[in-house]
Structures are given as structure tokens and as C-alpha cells.
Structure 1
Amino acid sequence: MSTILSSNVYLNDLETYGYTITPDALNNELINDLITDCHRTALYFSAAKIGRLNDLQIDQTIRKDKTFWLDGSSQAQLTYQAIMESIKTTLNRQFFTGLFDYECHYAKYTQGDFYKKHLDAFKGRSNRVFTTVLYLNSPKRGGELVIYKPKSKQIEVVIKPVAGTLVMFESERFAHEVLPAIDERFSIAGWFRKNTSISGVIDPPR
């Protein structure tokens, strides 16, 4: 499988810090295939939304990126999804998290695009457990990911986008933002999820 990701490193980091940053997590061939596939789907990108289900809405005062949800329509997507499935199994064995799904989309930030500080999950109200970001290119300027200390305005870490770097963090614990892009920035944003279906109410995928 097209990965050199060391489970010992990212598991130790997740357990100790709640987040992990892995440069060169996937090999260059797969990264190239993914960025090519990302460009292939360019016509199908749409303005990113906030909220879930009936509350989904476009609010470009909060985020201005464009997204395309991976649908398994290329070998590159299938390979990436298989890798994340393997990571999901490892996370379940290590942390007993009950993860059952991984969802992800391509994200494109052009000049001036941003995503203001937010949480991907609210405690007790979301099925998202771990957030992932895989960078597909290396913009020289802008588009940094800022992760904040839990329940704080203080910055924990600022991550410059570099192709092949995989970032993973606890969705409920860390607020984060994407600073305005100057050069185009491409990535795959994803979430490992648990099943929160109860009393006949089906847990939605997004």
C-alpha cells in the first residue's frame, strides 16, 4: 500500500498531545495521483458549507474554500480511502474509539480564501472523533493551518502546508482555522466518525 506512515509515531503523538503532524506520510506517486485527480474533478467543486443536514448553509464570512467529496471514482481515491481505512482499524485497536466510517473531501483555497476559527465537533453532539488534513501541494505563501490550545485563544501550533504532510487531531478538543491563502492550496480534509444512531434516528454521514 502506498504509505510510509509509522503507526508508532502518530499513535504516540495522539495519545500524548491529541494531535500529530507527519511529513511525507504518503509516497510522492500517490500524492501526484491525488492532485491530478483533484484537478480532474475541478468542474464539480462547489462553495463549502457550514452546519449539518437542514442547517447547511453557505456563509462566506466564515469560510470561502471550495470542496468536492471523494466518491471513489478514481484509483487514487480508492487507494487513499483504503489507507485511511487501515488507519481507522489501528485507531480502534489502540484507543477503543468505535470508529465506523471515514468521510473526506478535496478542499481548494484560492487567493483570499480562508476558514475562520471553528470546531469540527461539539462535545456530545457530533460523531466526528478525529479530523485529518492531507496536503496535496506546497504553496509558498498563505493557507497555514492554525491549531489552538483547548478552550483557549492561545495558539498550539501553526502548520505550513507541504505536499505529503498528514495532520490528525481530536475533533472535539481543538479549535482551528485556515489563514487566508495567497497561492493556491489543495488538500483532503476528512473525519473519522463513530456511529451515533439512536432510537431509530439514523446517524447522517455529514
Structure 2
Amino acid sequence: MDALSLHDYVIIDNFLDAGRLHTVQSFFQSHLDVFTKAGIGALGDHTIRKDIRGDFTYWLDRQRDTELQDIWSLIDETIYIYNRYCYLGLSGYEFHLAHYPKGGHYDKHLDQFNNRNNRTISMVIYLNKHWQQGDGGEMEIFLSNGSSLLVEPIEARCVMFKSGTVPHAVLASHKPRYSLTGWLLQQPSALGQFLG
């Protein structure tokens, strides 16, 4: 919590224990055939822009994806800790699995839509077995002092950052890159605060 407050981001290695990691990796592989091309924007603004974003996603649903109960419990615990120690008033979440095929990337952006601003904390957990330097797919976090930080997508590493204030990008992946990615919300996603 202190690191996030000070730097607007935090990196935590070994965020998932071996059991949770195996569960989500197995679930990921068994659902790869139902992933869809990711776009940008929400609702009526949603468009596919391969020049900006090259990943495929599978949106998770707690009622449907019951195999991930241990992951849902971890998300609940994370929300509880943020609310207890940071008083963020988090009351919901939205998560998907993200697959960046070879060459996939995501240009510099904020994790906030033009028409709603309820994403508060972004959370990325990497699921890449045996990732090595040169495999690509790093997250580049753009810092307020004009420099940037490269975060290697190492298995079980979690990156959390303030959704509306931390610009970031995903560099081109040189082999398939997998993650569990989501947002902790101040209001449920269907009730986002609309910006006029």
C-alpha cells in the first residue's frame, strides 16, 4: 500500500501460490479457443484497432467461471485490503484473460474509458511459464518524471497501478504472452460515472 501511494504503482513477485497459479493457467489453456479480438473503448465506442492493440481476451464471470473460486477469493481479499488501508471505496471488479500472440502489443494508454471513470486500480498477473529476456511483452510504465520503467512479464508477478493516472504500454511480444488482467472499481461496471 505504501509503495502504491508513493509511486502510483507496485510490483509484487510470487503473488499467486502454486495452487492458484496452476488453476488459472489450466483454465486459460482450456479456454483459448473462445478468446475474441480485443478492442478499445466501451459500449457504443468499442472498435477493433489492430494498429493500437493486438491481444485477444476472454472476459471472466464469477457465476459462470466457478473453477476460479480461489482467484475470486484473492480478488475479494485485495479489494478488502485496499478499502481498509486506503479508503478507496471499491465495490466491484472486471477481469479478463489476455493472450498476446507473437507480435501482439498495446500502444501507450490509460486504463480509463472516455465515457466512464470508475476503474480505480489496474491489476495484471502474469501467467507466462519460462519467460526469458528477449521474449518481449514487457509492460512499459511511463513515470511522471519523463522516464519509463520496463516490467518483465514473469510468471506469478503482479503489477498494480492507479488506472486513471499511470500511462503504460505493452511492448511487442515475441512469443505468446498470457495474463490475468482486471480493474478494481469504485462502482460496478454497468454504473460507471459518466463524463460529460
Q: Normalization by structure 1: what TM-score?
A: 0.85
Give the whole-Å Cα distance in 2 for the aligned partners of 1:97 and 1:174: 17
Q: 1:204 offset after TM fit, Å?
A: 5.1
Give the whole-Å Cα distance in 2 for the aligned partners of 1:32 and 1:153: 38
2:181 counterpart of 1:185:
no
Relative to structure 1, is the Cα distance of residues 91 and 133 closer, same or farther in structure 2, using a 3 angstrom cutoff?
A: same
Contact 2:97/2:179 (<8 A) preserved: yes
Q: Of 12, 20, 27, which aligns to 1:30?
A: 20
Structure 1 counterpart of 2:88, one-letter code:
T
Q: Deviations over 1:88-122 (max 9, x none)?
A: 01101111111100110000011100000000026
2:11 counterpart of 1:21:
yes
What is aligned with 1:56? 46
Contact 1:123/1:172 (<8 A) preserved: no
What is aligned with 1:142? 136
Q: Secondary structure at the match of 1:99?
A: coil
2:195 counterpart of 1:203:
no
Q: Normalization by structure 2: what TM-score?
A: 0.89
Give the whole-Å Cα distance in 2 for the aligned partners of 1:61 and 1:44: 22
Q: Of 92, 95, 102, which aligns to 1:104?
A: 95
Q: How large is the RMSD of aligned CA atoms in angstroms?
A: 2.1
Give the whole-Å Cα distance in 1 for the aligned partners of 2:18 and 2:80: 24
**Larger relative CO (CA 8 A, sep 6+): 1 or 2?**
2
Question: After the TM superposition, which residues 59-98 of structure 1 pair with which residues of structure 2 at under 5 Å, given as runs?
Answer: 59-72=49-62, 73-98=64-89
Structure 1 segments (4+ residues) deviating >6 Å: none
In structure 2, list runs of 5 or more residues that go unmatched. none
Give the whole-Å Cα distance in 1 for the aligned partners of 2:187 and 2:142: 27
Give the whole-Å Cα distance in 1 for the aligned partners of 2:114 and 2:84: 22
In structure 1, list runs of 5 or more residues that go unmatched. 1-10
Contact 1:30/1:76 (<8 A) preserved: no
Q: Deviations over 1:29-61 (max 9, x none)?
A: 211111110011111100001001110111111
Q: 1:22 offset after TM fit, Å?
A: 0.4
Relative to structure 1, is the Cα distance of residues 48 and 153 closer, same or farther in structure 2, using a 3 angstrom cutoff?
A: farther
Contact 1:148/1:176 (<8 A) preserved: yes
Relative to structure 1, is the Cα distance of residues 87 and 64 closer, same or farther in structure 2, using a 3 angstrom cutoff?
A: same
How many percent identity over aligned positions?
A: 31
Give the whole-Å Cα distance in 2 for the aligned partners of 1:179 and 1:124: 26
